[in-house]
Amino acid sequence: MKVKTKSKKVNKAWLNDHVNDPYVKLALKEGYRARAAYKLKEIDEQLSLIKPGMLVVDLGSAPGAWSQYVRRKLSPQGAAVGELDGTIVALDLLPMEPVEGVTFLQGDFREDEVLARLAEVLAGRQADVVVSDMAPNLSGIESADAARISHLVELAVEFAQGHLKPDGALVAKVFHGSGYSQLVKLFKERFRVVKPLKPKASRDKSAENFLVGMGLKAQSRP
């Protein structure tokens, strides 16, 4: 019974924080599906990564907030609907409600069938930017969770190596803790410029962080 009571208290505290979160309120006001949009917005505004005319691939895209942000950046008027100057391809294992102008592929990009569908959509083009908000279901066992997180980041880097322009950029969600320094090392081995960032929209209590790699090193290109 104590465990249940504690769980209820934790859930209630989280819900209270969530409802009163300024980014949650802003997302509702501005029509974003999740507060996560403001994490990418802050990273993009700091580094000027996403520009009209670009091809952007969104890994782990559901529920679609990052795709929504990219869609607005590629719109001449910054609009959520209407004209679009660029291409957005989103992938996720989970279903995602359509975002106007975004091509969504549901499935695992490690599978040949999904890669074939992606190749068809890309039609020989390489991405200017790859963004990855992929995160595993956490078990609470630190060592196991760290390994799962690292694996997804490694997959994002591998994907970028195969689908990114030589001067392109990868934005990937990581977590501070076990395995973090190895992921920074991996980024430094693969990219010419590496920036670790913690956007204001990431909660203070969260170990969540982001690594941005810009410009693939010559040996990292396929």
Nearest to 34 by CA among 56, 8, 66, 6: 66
Q: Cα dist. 68→15, 92, 198 in Å?
A: 24, 15, 21
Per DSSP, 107 falls in state: S
Annotated active-site residue in 25, 39, 173, 185 = 173
Q: Cα dist. 64→102, 115, 195, 200 in Å?
A: 10, 20, 24, 20
73 is catalytic: no
Reading the block at residue 171, the tokens are: 């934005």
CA angle 125, 77, 49 (to 5 degrees): 45
Contact 44, 79 (CB under 8 A): no
Q: Which residues are catalytic?
A: 173
